[in-house]
Amino acid sequence: METEEYTLVRDMLRSFALRHRVGSADEIEPQSRTAAQHALDELGLGELRRTSPPAATVQECALLAEEHGRHPLTTSLLGTALLAPELLRLLGTPAPASRPTIALARDLRFPGPDPAPPAAWDCDAADCALHVAPDGTVRRVTLGPPVRTADLLRHVREASGTGDGAEVIGRLTAKARQRWQAYALVVVAAELVGAADALVTLSTDYSRDRRQYGRPIGSFQAVQHLLADATVLVEACASATRYAAWCLDHEPADRALTAARVAKAEVNASAVEAVYAGMQVLGGIAQTWEHVAHLYLRRVLVGARLLATTADLLPALAEPFATTTAAPEVTR
């Protein structure tokens, strides 16, 4: 059950989103981005998990990310208000004077052994980034020039300073690193759930208004099947993601990470399939620059590769079973 305080926070975010969402790619301008980010910062969402114990549960933060994903917003909620503060909390480090986001590998996956310079993700309003090395070492890195990305709503910038001389601000324990990865996977998956749900809702509403052969296209069985299947896919994503968020609040770190990997793998496949169905129902209008549909599509396609792809996740999920279960004997 939602607390009264959380209900107020969620309603504030929803009200903010309705005021600052963009209606098309042409409305994405520096002035509007700055104004929207300033308005979001005034909500104080970065303080939700600063304290120990946190004021908000992971489940509540995931629902906020989901709500953010439902709207075409240019604001940095995930990077600067949810992920970076949680990383600092797990480190036990006080909030710095600077405002960090998170740094990922150049392909926007979790950093690996590749020494290539990282990329600062979701970096509107950020002036530095936090890079988590595979051994749990967290370094503060500086922001460089912009990096092109298909997601028009979100900024990515080059980052530098991960070498031996970089500023180390702490090291995550093995359990804390598992919780950090699980939290990041859950929050990103939740935003993708919101984006996919919004596009399916948009296409469903459109099917009631768009008429062909004298009838709404939503009355045709083929369209109904597309939308029904897309709705089931979104619900599957939402269920897996919310369960993973619950695990982070109630289960050990290793089980929470497993649930988060399952959720992200589900979202990577099902959210993409759901938005493809929505785009098909919307038809030609969704392919135009002026329509909002491609902003959702871009976010989901980039998000399906963000942090971890399905190809990354499935071997990690299978590994414990492969090492503890003997291969079955094959008979012919």
H-only helix segments in 108-220 = 174-209
pTM of the entire structure?
A: 0.92
Average pLDDT on 59-72 reads 95
Residue 1, pLDDT above cutoff 80: no
Q: What average pLDDT does range 53-70 have in this prediction? A: 93
* pLDDT bucket at 165, cuts 50 / 70 / 90: low
CB of 133 within 8 A of CB of 87? no
In-domain check, residue 185: yes
Closest listed residue to residue 66, CA positions, set 3, 135, 126, 14: 14
pLDDT tier at 112 (50, 70, 90 boundaries)?
A: confident
Sequence letter at residue 214: G
Q: Which domain holds residue 236?
A: 175-319
Quote the pLDDT of residue 292.
96
pLDDT in the model for residue 9:
80
Residue 249 counted as domain residue: yes
Helices 4-20, 58-69: crossing angle, 10 deg rounding:
20
> What mean pLDDT comes out for the span 301-325?
83
What is the average pLDDT across 312-329?
65
Position 320 scores a pLDDT of 65
Phi, psi of 23 (to 5 degrees): -95, -15
pLDDT at 160 over 50: yes
CATH of the domain at 278: 1.20.140.10
- 179 domain-assigned: yes
Identify the residue with better confidence: 40 or 51: 40
Is the pLDDT confidence value at 189 over 60? yes
Residues 79/121, Cβ–Cβ less than 8 Å = yes
Per-residue pLDDT tens digits for 114-157: 777 899 999 988 999 999 999 999 999 999 999 999 999 999 99
Asked whether residue 47 is assigned to any structural domain, the reply reads no
Distance CA 80, CA 86 (A): 10
* 159 located within any domain: no
**The two structure tokens encoding residue 316:** 């990690």
Could you tell me what percent of the chain has a pLDDT over 70? Answer: 94
Q: Using CA atoms, how far apart are residues 76 and 57, in angstroms rounded to an integer?
A: 20
Q: Which of 48, 59, 63, 85 has its CA nearest to residue 14?
A: 63
Give the span between the Cα atoms of 124 and 190, in whole angstroms: 20
Q: Is residue 31 part of a domain?
A: no
Q: How many domains does the chain have?
A: 1
**Does residue 278 lie within any of the structural domains?**
yes
How long a stretch of residues is the chain? 332
- Whether residue 230 lies inside any domain: the answer is yes
Residue spans of alpha helices (H) in the chain: 4-20, 30-41, 58-69, 84-91, 174-209, 221-250, 253-282, 293-303, 310-324
